[in-house]
Homo-oligomer: A and B are copies of this chain.
Amino acid sequence: MSDKIKLSTESYKGVRDFYPEDMFVQNYIFDTWKKVLESFGYAEYSASLLEPAELYRAKTGEEIVNEQTYTFTDRGGREVTLRPEMTPTVARMVAAKERELAFPLRWYSIPNLFRYEKPQRGRLREHWQLNVDLFGLDSIQADTEIISIAYNLMKKFGAKDEDFEIHIGSRKFLKELLAKLGIENESDERAKKLYKLLDRKAKIGEAEFENGLKELNISFPEVEAVGSSEDISQIMKLLNDVDVKSVLFDPGIVRGFDYYTGMVFEVFDTNPENKRSLFGGGRYDDLTAIFGGGKISAVGFGMGDVTIKDFLETRGLLPKYKSATELYICTLDKTFLKPAQKLRQSLREQGLNVAVNLTDKKVGDQIKIADKQKIPYIVVVGENEVSSGTYSIKNMETGEETKVVIAGITGIIRSHS
């Protein structure tokens, strides 16, 4: 048909191919997420990335859905969106089975999310995100558990307490601040400007922050005087009880203010050259109400794979690639394929991951393949091995060779990994 056309081998713009070495990193991140979340009693759920576009229009508004998401009309005339975030989906799922589910619900998921924008470092068109939610509890204990999970995730990835900071804010605090300043509600222009200013405080520095306040006819001491809020102090105390460090109150943590209703938090990299936000979340108690059922309390956060991978890379915390294949069986020539297959079969039964040479290449070239694929052990099957039942297992990193019978091979390999 079009055999003459040479197709490009490039992927679609702004998305990634995962070769085995990339997949290894991705699996490391996903497995760490799973392990920590399950250790806290969270259950995994999932859903399709295809969602009716209405799901986002309700909360996000027409313009953002049209301009920042992948939305198209299917041939049945339905408007479909590739999900840009997981929260509307999980709110939909929880609302759908509100009566059957046993609250409080501890749920997590690792979805891929899509946004239509110019690709740039750390902002791809498709990324994966851990989503954590605790439904059905409107309490600072629930807020504390969520922050504690965020902290434990960072620690499990190998980050030290001084590598990151958890900044905790509060929508309640902000409302109190507005009240003291005589601003009636959050949609007031002055309120919006103040929130924006607070949000940018860390970036712009104290001087510019005070200037901004002056422009709004607000004095710095007025803001300072509100101090911390009662709920934040309690959360801090509870976090201390469960040995969570690196936390501080930060009134500048605003996040999406048509979304969050209580505690909000954001985790920052403390790297002086790149003091960026790594991830965050907070309490959003209104979201399930759009489905017409009851209002279900919720607190949670999302953590993206690209940002955390960049952080781990910068800090030297990513593990070195290890092939899932533990042993490569080379054959002296093709007459030894059958005993090599038999050997593989017994080792597979012992739980070992084993590839067998099927090529006609010389043993030296077979070993090169194993080496290039970073398989840690090799064994050669030939006349001596078959007649003696003894195999020489070679560690490809150290060069060390160990002679063993079949029953001892798994032990040799597993004792070193």
Contact = CB atoms under 8 A, between A and B. Distances in A.
Interface of A: 1-3, 5-13, 15-20, 23, 26-27, 38-52, 54-55, 57-59, 61, 70, 72, 74-76, 78, 80, 92-93, 95-97, 102-104, 106-107, 112, 114, 116, 125-126, 137, 139, 141-142, 145, 241-243, 289-292, 323-325, 328, 337-338, 341, 345, 348, 351-356, 358-359, 368-369, 372-373, 375
Nearest to A351: B39
B1 A41 contact: no
A231 to B, nearest CB: 15
A38 B7 contact: no
Contacts of A51: 11-12
A183 to B, nearest CB: 22
Contact of A107 (B20, B27, B38): B20
Given A5-B58, A10-B96, A291-B9, A241 B324 contact: no
A104 to B, nearest CB: 6
Contact of A18 (B46, B58, B126, B354): B46
Contact of A52 (B12, B59, B95): B12
A116 B142 CA distance: 42
Which of the listed residues A2, A16, A61, A112 has the most CB atoms from chain B within 10 Å of its own CB?
A: A2
B7 A353 contact: no
A64 B126 CA distance: 26
Contact of A358 (B145, B345, B351, B375): B145
A1 B65 CA distance: 14
A1 B61 contact: yes
A97 B114 CA distance: 26
Contact of A6 (B11, B92, B292): B292
A47 B18 contact: yes
Nearest to A292: B6
Nearest to A368: B102
Contact of A19 (B45, B75, B369): B45
B354 A40 contact: yes
Contacts of A355: 40-41, 106
Question: Which 10 residue pairs across A and B have the least CB separation, nearest first?
Answer: A41-B355, A15-B48, A102-B372, A9-B96, A6-B292, A20-B43, A18-B46, A72-B72, A41-B325, A141-B358
